[in-house]
């Protein structure tokens, strides 16, 4: 960036990169654990409240696990995509 805006943001150029790295770390570690805990808790609480609700929660849990295992299966590809996205964010 040039001009006044570029001069203002020059000294803070590392902050967005650090913020993106922190968000990526949280989204790749904490979010799956929290979602798993919520799905398990919902599955326990859904017993007998509404007909079919327990089956719906169990279906959600199965689909979540399937999508998570699909996303983590090609680890080199996912790391390549992650690196590409971080590089693009750094360039911005």
Statement: residue 16 has pLDDT above 60:
yes
- For the chain, the structural domain boundaries read 3-91
* pTM, 2 dp: 0.36
Q: Is 30 buried (19+), middle (13-18) or exposed (0-12) by CB count in 10 A?
A: exposed
Statement: residue 13 has pLDDT above 60:
yes
pLDDT value at residue 44: 62
Distance CA 35, CA 28 (A): 12
Distance CA 68, CA 24 (A): 16
Residues 25-71: pLDDT tens digits?
888 888 777 877 777 766 666 555 666 667 777 888 888 888 888 87
């Amino acid at each position: 960036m040039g001009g006044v805006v570029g001069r203002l943001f020059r000294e803070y150029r590392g902050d967005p990169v650090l913020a993106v790295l922190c968000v990526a770390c949280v989204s790749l570690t904490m979010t799956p654990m929290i979602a798993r805990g919520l799905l398990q808790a919902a599955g326990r609480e859904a017993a007998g409240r509404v007909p079919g609700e327990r089956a719906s929660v169990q279906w959600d849990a199965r689909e979540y696990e399937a999508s998570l295992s699909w996303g983590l299966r090609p680890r080199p590809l996912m790391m390549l995509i992650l690196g590409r996205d971080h590089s693009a964010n750094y360039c911005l």
